Amino acid sequence: MAAALAGLAMACSPQAATDEKAAAVTNSGKHPVSGLEIVPVVVSTGENAHEFRAELADTKELQAKGLMHRTELGSDEAMLFPNEQPTARSFWMKNTPIPLDIIFVGLDGRITNIAAMTEPYSEEPVYSVGSVSAVLEIAGGRAEELGIEAGDQVSW
């Protein structure tokens, strides 16, 4: 009986839900909430490398929607916004209820700047420093936690 209750408690735990979501992503190649393709994105800090499972927002429509209305983003989840042509970018947090770290990736694949812990629902834009080839959004505070900073290499 105790073993059955322990199994039931594990099945209802937040960690079990996170593990199930990760398994769904791994098995399908699509994100269970957005349905977007998942691509691996690696951020190399020099000392360490961290791999994120990034939802690929590769059309203007998907980029306009971004992570709006999402109430959670796992510690190893991200959204990648590649540019067709390198250009300066700006992002806002309209309709986004969770804080994000918005990482701007320069033409050489290195981080130009990071807008850390962006304010949920804010319509104030945050800007790239110069032209970028992509933008990566991760959970707010995660860049600092992992030691990610300007100059680090991003690849996908």
Q: What pLDDT, on the 0 to 100 scale, is given for residue 125? A: 97
Averaged pLDDT, 56-69: 96
Q: What pLDDT, on the 0 to 100 scale, is given for residue 47? A: 85
- Whether the predicted pLDDT of 139 surpasses 60: yes
Lowest mean pLDDT among 18-22, 83-87, 115-119: 18-22
Superfamily classification of domain 32-155: Protein of unknown function DUF192 (2.60.120.1140)
Task: Give tens-digit pLDDT for 3-43.
Answer: 443 443 433 334 444 444 444 444 569 999 999 999 999 99
- Whether the predicted pLDDT of 71 surpasses 50: yes
Strands 77-87 and 132-139: antiparallel
Q: What pLDDT, on the 0 to 100 scale, is given for residue 46? A: 87
CB 77 within 8 A of CB 41: no
- Gyration radius (Cα) of the chain, Å: 17
How many other C-beta atoms can be found within 10 angstroms of the C-beta atom of residue 57? Answer: 22
Task: Supply 126's token pair.
Answer: 């945050």
User: Mean pLDDT in the chain?
Assistant: 87
Q: What pLDDT, on the 0 to 100 scale, is given for residue 134? A: 98
